[in-house]
Amino acid sequence: MQPIPDVNQRIARISAHLHPPKYQMEESSVLRRANCRAKGGAPGFRVAILGAAGGIGQPLAMLMKMNPLVSVLHLYDVVNAPGVTADISHMDTGAVVRGFLGQQQLEAALTGMDLVIIPAGVPRKPGMTRDDLFKINAGIVKTLCEGIAKCCPRAIVNLISNPVNSTVPIAAEVFKKAGTYDPKRLLGVTMLDVVRANTFVAEVLGLDPRDVDVPVVGGHAGVTILPLLSQVKPPSSFTQEEINYLTDRIQNGGTEVVEAKAGAGSATLSMAYAAVKFADACLRGLRGDAGVVECAFVSSQVTELPFFATKVRLGRNGIDEVYSLGPLNEYERIGLEKAKKELAGSIEKGVSFIRG
């Protein structure tokens, strides 16, 4: 007996859903939502994660799917984006999730985005510096930023890929070349240094880390990571031994994780937590919340260097204000000179990569 036509159509539809064409995740997920009358268009921001299938990208995607400020979440990677997208999309939170695989889907992933978070690129192995990642990650960041300049030039960009001290200048140069550069919208993510500093200082002081605020300035590698222990809140005093221990541990927190993972990568879970904390601050700023202040590596006139990490106030257009360093003690002034020396070279390396 011939099946009646509308049963045939239903079978075809179900079969298409069970066996979606490999490179058409976007179309198949739109179809599925249409058929199920999924509710889209909830108020909120559109966020893309580039490198979403990686060690940072996956927990970051999960945490962003849980963020009530996010209405649309685009997950882009050159591998495994379909699996991560299918998995995350089953979470019963508001954001609509769409996956994008490979360079040919980059533009679709970026179009219309308010915030783009970039954890794409290779991580360190024991014995490597972050600068050793430049060779591979510089090109990745360049390509992704060219896509941003073309498809969502007004998006806020949170750049995680290392070496941050060079990749942020690379991104700025790409945007300048495209005529889209807005220094208020490009932020290198140094939040993990603050998260670590809060944790380690709280341990020493015997406090809850949630009650501690440590400004960390400079950049995101070794001596360029400069915790300002004289400005810790609540106001606290430390012995010289505690200052040496804390400064060293905060500056080498990344290496501590790289060594403990013994070849299996660098910080991913604490980084995803830090990235979400920072992205949430950017989204609250975009929403118009007052007094949203976090540390980030940004275009700056605080020192003679063109980029520097300090506290910044986030608003509807990205960075509303870059704060000065505040009073430093002698130990911090010496640290600042060391940090600036190394930062100058890393920034120049990023700029030259684009300018040639």
Ligand X SMILES: O=C(O)C[C@H](O)C(=O)O
Positions marked catalytic: 220
**Residue 137 annotated as lining a ligand binding site:** yes
Query: Is 334 annotated for ligand binding?
Result: no
Q: Is 228 helix (H, G, I), strand (E, B) or coil?
A: coil
CB-based burial label for 124 (10 Å; 0-12, 13-18, 19+): buried
- Name which of ligand X, ligand NAD, none residue 137 binds, using a CB cut-off of 5 to 8 Å depending on partner kind: ligand NAD
For position 29 contacting ligand NAD by CB under 6 A, the verdict is: no
CA 294, CA 194: separation in Å to the nearest integer? 9
Angstrom distance (rounded) from CA 22 to CA 230: 55
DSSP letter string over 243-258? HHHHHHHHHTHHHHHH
- Reference 224, options 333, 339, 341; nearest CA is 339
Report if residue 65 touches ligand X, rule: CB under 6 A: no
Work out whether strand 292-299 and strand 318-322 pair parallel, antiparallel, or are unpaired.
Answer: unpaired
Q: Does residue number 306 form part of the binding site for ligand NAD (CB under 6 A)?
A: no
Q: Is position 162 an interface residue for ligand X (rule: CB under 6 A)? A: yes
Report whether 52 belongs to an annotated binding site: yes
> Has 98 been labeled as part of a binding site?
no
Binding of ligand NAD at residue 267 (CB under 6 A)?
yes
233: β partners: 213
Flag whether 67 is marked binding.
no
Residues 6+ apart with CB under 8 A from 12: none
The rounded distance, in Å, linking the Cα atoms of 284 and 115 is 12
Half-sphere exposure for 267 (CA within 13 Å, toward CB):
22
Choose one: 240-248, 260-268, 320-328, 332-340; the region binding ligand NAD (CB under 6 A). 260-268
Residue 258 binds which entry of ligand X, ligand NAD, none, CB below 5-8 Å type-dependent = ligand X
Tell me whether residue 273 or residue 331 sits nearer to ligand NAD (CB atom).
273
Shortest spacing between CB 182 and ligand NAD, in angstroms: 21
Q: Which residues bind ligand X (CB under 6 A)?
A: 123-124, 130, 162, 192, 253-254, 257-258, 266-267
Q: Which residues bind ligand NAD (CB under 6 A)?
A: 50-51, 53-57, 77-79, 119-124, 133, 137, 140, 143-144, 160-162, 164, 189, 192, 220, 265-268, 271
Question: What residues form the annotated binding site?
Answer: 51-57, 77, 124, 130, 137, 160-162, 196, 271
